[in-house]
A and B are shown apart, each in its own frame.
Chain A
Amino acid sequence: MNASASTSAVPGWFLDNAYLIPLIPAIAFVAILAVGKRIPDLRVGRFTVPGGGSLIGIASMVGSLVLAAGAALQWIDYADGHSYTAPIRRTWVWWQSGGIEIGLGQQIDGLSVMALLLVAFISTLVQIYSLEYLKGDRRYTHFFAALTLFSSGMLVMVLAENMVQLILGWELMGLCSFMLIGHWWEDGANSRASLKAFFTVRTGDVGLLVGTAIVALSAQKWINANGLQDQYSGFSIEAISRWALAGDPQYKSVITWGAVALFIAAIGKSGQFPLHTWLPDAMAGPTPVSSLLHSSTMVVAGVFLVARIYPVFFEGLRILDTDVNFIAVIGGVTIIVAALLAFVQTDIKKVLAYSTVSQLGYMMMGLGVGAWTPAVFHIWTHAFFKCCLFLCAGSVAHSGSHHSFDMKKDMGGLARKMPVTFVCWVVSSMALAGVPFFAGWYSKDEIIDFAGANQYWWFFGIGIAGAFLTTAYMTRATYLTFLGKPRGAAAGIHEDSHGDAHAAHGAADAHAAHDTHDSHDDHGAHAGPHESPWLIKAPIAILAVLSIAAGLLNAPALNIFKFEEWVEPKAEPVLLDTGYASEGTGDYPESSKEAHSEGAARSALVSAGEEPAEGEKKKPGYPNGRIEEGKLTGKCGTPGYVPPEGKACYAPGILHHKFKWVKALPALAAVVIGLLLSAAFCVLYYQRRNRRLVGLTERNALARAGYKFLWNKYYLDHLYEKVIVRGVAHPLARAMYWVNQNILDGIVNGAGRTGRKVGEITYKVVDQGLVDGVVNGSGAAARGTGSALRPTQSGKVSQYGALLFAAAALAALILVLVNS
């Protein structure tokens, strides 16, 4: 079809044909559904080749992975050799109607290449893991089909050239997550969880549609005004980026509203406060699903969206330009809120789920404080260690705790029985906690560092507090799962008698270690904790290694900046460590020197503790570039900046800061303190049963209130289900009928009923309110009103019709009157 002209610059086959990466799993999905059930298991000697179409899924993911790796290598080659790397786009017409043309395409840049590789890699490992984990499952074939389509959806999204395609991938993922979370839908809780996930995300998706409409229409206007019609459609992501960065004052408020709407979508998808409640419930799905969902796909999609069209947020929410912004606040709140919740969970997967929410908060906060590269890098590192943690949890449930995820009841002391799982868990936990030289440290510390260096001190503090909390809850989870005394299933209690014998056997097995699992089955007893088979161990081990190694791509402490070079958009000639050019001049070397000295003067001013001049709202050093040993790549996004001829701004310049151990110290201290405190607490509380600590929540009212507040997840679910849904949606409709019916039914009848209702409401409000506290009480009040108004709901179509037309006409009238 008609590929766009920019393909000529494509530096290789893999990049040119990147569209194959999502296409292969999409085809595999159809293939699995079509023939999967007819493929039987094959026995080849000692091995069983699994049937059911799972191998088709794995083969497709491996194919995608190979292509993604090829693309990554070629991109690296390309990025290393160029100082200006505009995204490489290739588009085909998908459909057109009237004057509107919607394309499918691929946009290759560092971000998409990174995400492609990440998604393909994690998906492959998770599918391999699922071979064993889901063995013999009722809907084995459907599981693999959905998993494959899920990966395909994410791949479509990360490769998206335009917003419509992005929405396509986004929705594909939403659908598949619904199918996968409710995989065991026979259990009511699971199907409820999948519905909740679906609807909560849909709530945010409204923002995506509205935001896309706002942004795309204005971008189209801008394109037409600038004569770029041949190059872009309004939906094109690159066009939207350029439009946002062009800084045309007439679009200022449009960009802001677009950014807010789109960020609401990101809140829903990425489980940010206050729409995070679906994420922990999504643990109802099989563990491989949780693992995939929480590492590289689905929840990352929201962060990816923000990173993808960062200019819209950068300009719309005035990142770096104001002291506080929407994204940073939501991210910061999420970090703390979710991390606190992780403390009261007894389900190991829920601890990890809240930890994911919290880490996503880090990414969002990073994007909010202008730390684009660290935030994206955190997507990268987080995927490996979080995936590993989930798979470890699955391994524990699979082989150690007899399919229970309850840390308090069924785990403990598993370290010796499952050494590989334990080691991998500890390694990835350390990566998560941000222990130096593990992957998570490089990215998380960079985010915190950026927050400080960009003068967002509040968020700097939140980042450090988050690091403290992360370490503490992971220590608790580790202790409960792997250390201490075995409890419940971990102690083999569900078994008849030989629990102790089994423990001894487990210890022996631990010495025999890694690969001798096969012999284990010979013991006959299926139950009792033991190490998992190699199909489970291998992915975990690979991921654990990567939990260390993945961080080495961008290790400021070791002076490695590969990730930065490859992934960060090079919007214009990069100025490395030479300071920066002053605005508007094309002559870099000279003016940069001059500006550098000016910057140094400024930095001296700031370090002396003086506030910038009164009324100056801008961050010190901005827009003139970041102060002090700054390494500035590009200055797009700074007011009044015009890119040189032939080049365009499609990403804001990212301000880098030099790594210093001194700056990393507070976070490190937080980690150490968190570790020590939490370990001490665990030993005292869970092992020694210290009398002062045990039962504290029963004795101390404050502790009890806090615990109850956390235990009920801040009553957010309560708020949504009882107050908002019942309290707003239902009564509104009912109230209208109530008025209607009461007029028709006569006043006497109505008066009597009203009296009863008032009594009922009062009873509910006063009684329930006093007993259950304020939040609970308002829920009950809503419920009371709701049920009191219930009989008035008529169910008659003609009345619904009348309401519909009247409401539409009124809305139209109001719109007309307001606008005229």
Chain B
Amino acid sequence: MLASSGLVAQNIAFGIVALMMVVGALRVVTSKNVVHAALWLVLVLAGAAAQYIILSAEFVAVTQVLVYIGAVTVLFLFGTMLTRAQLGKAKDLNNKNWALGIPVALLVLGTLVYVLIDTFGDDKVVDNPGDVPNVPVQAISDSIFKPYLLPFWALSFVLLAALVGAIVLARKD
């Protein structure tokens, strides 16, 4: 499969990173330690950034690192500390009927896999290995500030509301 679809180096990189991500994601949801879970999450997020680079989306990758790994993870760690979760191992991180999650997750996965394989089969990301299109940052900014300005505005409001909301909620009075 790897050889037939060209871009061998990228495929190998993909395989390694993907494996890392899946393992990391599994550890996030199974780890018995909240801090460890957060660190595993960092691994997954970094892996995602790597995948974006493979998909020649450098700007998104950089943003991913900045926002997710830089800010969101720190927020998680803060949240963990402030809520005084046990920093070491804890026995009761899972619900009583956690097993319910397995069939549901498998059902979701099965549906998605079936649909994806049914729809895309062996479609390639790029037809010619030679010409992987490049998306310059300028194109992204044009896209944000021209056709998708309205969602951008809405997003600004969401962020503002989130800011105010977070302050109001977390304030001690």
Contacts and interface: CB of A to CB of B under 8 A. Distances in A.
Interface of A: 95-99, 744, 796, 798-799, 802, 805-806, 808-810, 812-813, 816, 820
Given A98-B148, A816-B115, A810 B107 contact: yes
Contacts of B121: none
Nearest to B98: A798
B104 A806 contact: yes
Contact of B147 (A97, A796, A802, A812): A97
Given A97-B147, A97-B148, A812 B111 contact: yes
Interface in B113-160: 114-115, 118, 147-151
Nearest to B119: A816
Contacts of B104: 802, 805-806, 809
B101 interface: yes
A816 B111 contact: yes
Contacts of B147: 96-99
Interface string B72-113: 000000000000000000000001010011011101101100
Given A802-B100, A816-B115, A95 B150 contact: yes
B95 to A, nearest CB: 5
A97 B150 contact: yes
Contacts of A802: 100-101, 104
A99 B148 CA distance: 9
Given A96-B147, A97-B147, A805 B108 contact: yes
B151 A798 contact: no
B107 A97 contact: no
7 A-B pairs with the lowest CB-CB distances in the bound complex, closest first:
A97-B150, A809-B108, A806-B104, A813-B111, A809-B107, A809-B111, A802-B100
Contacts of B110: 813
Nearest to B100: A802
Contacts of A96: 147, 150
Contacts of A816: 111, 114-115, 118
Contacts of A805: 104-105, 107-108
A102 to B, nearest CB: 10
Contacts of B103: 806
B74 to A, nearest CB: 25
Contacts of A820: 118
29 contacts: A96-B147, A96-B150, A97-B147, A97-B148, A97-B151, A98-B147, A98-B148, A99-B147, A798-B97, A799-B97, A799-B100, A802-B100, A802-B101, A802-B104, A805-B104, A805-B108, A806-B104, A806-B107, A809-B104, A809-B107, A810-B107, A812-B111, A812-B115, A813-B107, A813-B110, A813-B111, A816-B114, A816-B115, A816-B118
Contacts of A744: 97
A350 to B, nearest CB: 43
B150 A798 contact: no
A641 B101 CA distance: 60
Nearest to A808: B108
Nearest to B150: A97
B166 to A, nearest CB: 20
A96 B151 CA distance: 10
Contacts of B151: 97
Nearest to A810: B107
Interface of B: 95, 97, 100-101, 103-105, 107-108, 110-111, 114-115, 118, 147-151
Contacts, number: 47
- Residue among B95, B103, B104 with max Cβ neighbours from chain A (10 Å): B104
A316 to B, nearest CB: 32
A783 B104 CA distance: 31
Contacts of A808: 108
A798 B101 CA distance: 9
A743 to B, nearest CB: 10
Nearest to B151: A97
- Residue among B100, B103, B115 with max Cβ neighbours from chain A (10 Å): B100
Contacts of B111: 809, 812-813, 816
A313 B48 CA distance: 51
Contacts of B118: 816, 820
A783 to B, nearest CB: 29
B102 to A, nearest CB: 10
A176 to B, nearest CB: 24
Nearest to A99: B147
A94 to B, nearest CB: 10
B137 to A, nearest CB: 20
A799 B115 CA distance: 26
Contacts of A99: 147
Contacts of B95: 796, 798
Contacts of B107: 805-806, 809-810, 813
A84 to B, nearest CB: 38
Contacts of A95: 150
A248 B104 CA distance: 45
A713 to B, nearest CB: 43
A219 to B, nearest CB: 22
A517 to B, nearest CB: 53
A812 B103 CA distance: 16
B115 to A, nearest CB: 6
B15 to A, nearest CB: 27
Contacts of B97: 744, 798-799
A779 to B, nearest CB: 34
A798 B150 CA distance: 34
A99 B103 CA distance: 40
Nearest to B115: A816
A439 to B, nearest CB: 47
A456 B149 CA distance: 53
B123 to A, nearest CB: 17
A799 B148 CA distance: 37
A798 B93 CA distance: 13
Given A97-B148, A809-B107, A812-B111, 14 more contacts: A96-B147, A97-B147, A98-B148, A796-B95, A798-B97, A802-B100, A802-B104, A805-B107, A806-B104, A810-B107, A813-B107, A816-B111, A816-B114, A816-B115
A816 B150 CA distance: 32
Contacts of B100: 798-799, 802
A429 B97 CA distance: 67
Nearest to B101: A802
B120 to A, nearest CB: 14
A808 B147 CA distance: 31
A802 B95 CA distance: 12
A690 to B, nearest CB: 68
B42 to A, nearest CB: 24
Nearest to A812: B111
A95 B103 CA distance: 44
A544 to B, nearest CB: 50
A802 B97 CA distance: 11
A340 B98 CA distance: 57
Contacts of B114: 813, 816
B156 to A, nearest CB: 14
Contacts of B101: 798, 802
A820 B114 CA distance: 12
B157 to A, nearest CB: 14
Contacts of B108: 805-806, 808-809
Nearest to A798: B95
A795 B111 CA distance: 28
Contacts of A798: 95, 97, 100-101
Nearest to A98: B147
Contacts of A97: 147-151
Nearest to B97: A744
B108 to A, nearest CB: 5
B79 to A, nearest CB: 17
